[in-house]
Structure 1
Amino acid sequence: MSTESRDRRSPGARTRVAVGAVVAVVAGLSSRWLLVDAPLLALAIIIVCSVVLVLAAPKVPLLTIVTWVMVSAIVVQFPGLTIENLALGTVAGLLTSLCLTGPMAVAAVLRHRREYLHRGWRLAAMEAERRSNDIQTALQRERMSLAAEMHDGLGHSLTLIAVRLGQLSLTSTLAPADRAAVTELRQASAEAAEELGNAVRLLRDPGAIATGTGVPTIMDAVESARSAGIPVTTDVPEGLTEILSAEAQTAVARLVQESLTNAAKHAPGEQVGIAIHVTGSTMVAEVSNAMPAQDGADRPPSSGFGLVGIRHRAGMLGGTLEVGRSPDVFALKLTLPTDAKPSPSDRVTAAEDIVAAENEAAQSRTMATRVAIVLPAAILGAVLAVTFAYLTAATVLSVVSAPQFAEIQPGDPRAEVELSLPIFEVLDAPRDQFPPKSGEQCRYYESDVSFFERSDVHVVCFDDDAVTRMGVIPAS
């Protein structure tokens, strides 16, 4: 069953059909006056009925409206129906039907166009959501496969190394210094295996950031580097763990760890400086080391992924990573909110982009509609306001009272008289009732302020230099 069929069977739809029937019958009955007695009244009733139909019963079938109008337009001709009355009723009914169904048809076209556009947006959003889900599923499948490979391959190898080193540390012939070194290596391999486990968990849950077990603290990374012979200076405020969130602490620890590792590989023996400062709700961590003068051709190559990972982590936490390189110094600067938390998603999905685009289009359409309505209304209002102001000013400022008029005499200098006259003349001056003679210029002023009924009009005529004559045109 179609949507329109279900709508017609609902109680609200039946009410709209009833309203449409009543309005169509009223319009049909009023059509009797359309061609003969009172066409303006009939037209006003039909226009009101058309507005009611568009607003209250827009989905009533047009053929139904036409049928009700035609029947009522012919029935109203009874009694005394003649061929002439039948033709008159038919013509009046057709004109009424046109006045009613025309706006309804236009409204239906606009409604269907709007529904078509909305349907297109919905389909685009559904398709984008489906594609986004497929991509996320494929990515998660690849992450799970990679996590399994890391866990089964590298994890197994690290575990065997830790076990073998543990067995080696128990050898009785091993010197104490060598036993301590082997024990330290076994502990490092165990920590590496634990960190690998954190990496595997991150792959399986990409929305999480590893914190807690297996992640070294800032001072742990510093002490480990110092034990490896790397000179490190620190400027770390007390109580930093209480100030920073767990995610921010992890990010700083990873920055320090990566910086120390890079310094050991690319600048061995050079001093590394670590400075952390907190200002308000922002934390800035800077790690720098001097660059060696000689070429390090025999040093291990850089993978290039360490800084990429730290920059990605900083972005997820709402911060930034700046890399400074010069011939003498290499520096990293990490800026994070003290309460940094991972954002739920790196970017909005395509479906959300489409919804945002639809909302933007709807807002633009609404704004355009408002402009289309408000601008002509504003222009019309301005025209009416200016016209009203001009008519009011011209009426008020075109008055010469009887005493003022009596003070003017023929022969008075024109320059002096014009100074006492108003700046406006009366609107629609009755020049034909007191026309100027050859060489004269006549001015027309009302004797009193009159908006709707004209009062007496005072006329003053001039030649080049003086008043030539005066007159009064009585109010008609």
Structure 2
Amino acid sequence: MAAVRLRWWRAGRPDSDGGSPDRRWVGDLLLWAAVSAPVAYAGVTPPYPRYAVPLLIGALSLLALAVTLGRRVPLTALVAVVLGSLLDGNFVFAIPVFSYLAGRRGTGTARAAAVFGGIAAGGSVLNLGLLGTEPATWFLLASVLLFAGVFPWLLGRHRRQQWALARAERRHAEAEERERRSAVDRIRLRERARIAQEMHDSLGHDLSLVALRAAALEVAPDLAPAHRAAAGELRASVAAVTERLREIIGVLRDERPGSLRPAGETVAELVDGARDAGLAVALRTAGDVDALPPLAAHTVHRLVREALTNAARYAPGAPVTVTVTRTGGEVAVGVVNGAPPAGPLPGPASPGTGLLALRERVRLAGGTLDAGPHQGGFAVTARLPLAADAADGPDTRPVPAAAPGRADAGPAAADGGAGLIGEPDGGLDPGRPGPASEDRPGEAERRLRDARRRVRRSLLTAFGAPTVLGLVLALVYYPLATAGAVLDRAGYERLQVGDRRDGLGLPRRQAAPPTADDPGGCEYYTDGNFPFAEPTWRLCFSDGRLVSKERIAR
């Protein structure tokens, strides 16, 4: 039921397509029935005009066309309804409906202004020029356009802005929640790294001293054989605990779950798996690389895996060479990929921290790592000591700073994206926020502010624009309608039947031309009633004398 309600709620959003086709069809049918009711009622009510049935069918068809066009081109549907009002005045009831829908369905402000301006200009030319409509009638029609057309469109636009604001608030809340989770993850990772460092620096050193003392006790000349065997067992146990501690520290330092290598997997098996996946990779080994100490073996495995993964991701199709060489008390590892045959991948460099994590892992194992562009491709090389694998503690030498375009910068910045870049999955650096995104809190906050500003602006426009336009119409029309045509009540009362017209001092022009049912010889003047300035007085003359005067009932 919740899923059904969600679909119906999403269907009503102004930025959706209106829901399922069945629901859109039902909604359009109901809309057509609602706007057709006034037209149909007038068409079936006597007296029936000539050609009543064809006119009714044409009017209903025009409304059906407007409803059909309303979803794709709502302004065109509005224009169709306005044109229909020239044939049937009952179309005026549909104008506010289609105006509201045009505003809610996201028509541009400039296009809507052009349409309303065109309707106003065309209507003015038609009524004042071709049909000779009275100014009061023109003013009434302009008011209808304003309050039945522009005002509903502004309300629909305001409603759409409210939906946009609600959507921005949801996105802002989601971004805040993501940022909160990200902050928790960063704190957790920093704490894990701090614990790992403390364990490595304190427990690792103490265990190394215990192992050293047990070894000294084991070789003491005056020790009984049983005690010597116990000292050897103690030294072996401390070495095993130290190795286990290093594995735990590696897990604590790892930023991604499941990053430990599969049990028993060798570098050769890792390379075979990559080759089976389609990577053109070759393995070259020298020395006994299958019998490395556990810490060194895990570090080598991690380095080769990361390099192969990123070479496959950022240099697809490029040949890769993996070299593992054991000489004396150290092991050298190298992973070199050539330039991708299709050229560098487009797009920005990854902001991942895989090389930084690898550098730190190699440093904790007592070795050094170097990574950077190499002959159009990318190369990762490392050297790890073997003799001090279990007891010497971390290498306290400072980590050399990466040159521009090398490990920390990512090869894509220096070599057009032809080699290794960061974590395969965009690893998280616990010391800094994640990559930029349009949904990050700062961007979501800006979108929310913009949405709120648009809602306030649309609300002010929805109520302010009709008021301003109404005042402009009144201030433009009223002076034109009343200029030289006002006869106040006092002047009207002074008029006496039988007085000659030339001596009455009447205004220089009439308020409106004579009507069709005018008996003839009558003139019309207004008392200045606002805003329509309709004719108020009717004065009738015969042979140049006033024969009657009366107030026109409204």
The alignment's TM-score, normalised by the length of structure 2, stands at 0.30
Q: Give the number of the structure with larger relative contact order, counting CA–CA contacts within 8 Å between residues 6 or more apart.
A: 2
The alignment's TM-score, normalised by the length of structure 1, stands at 0.35
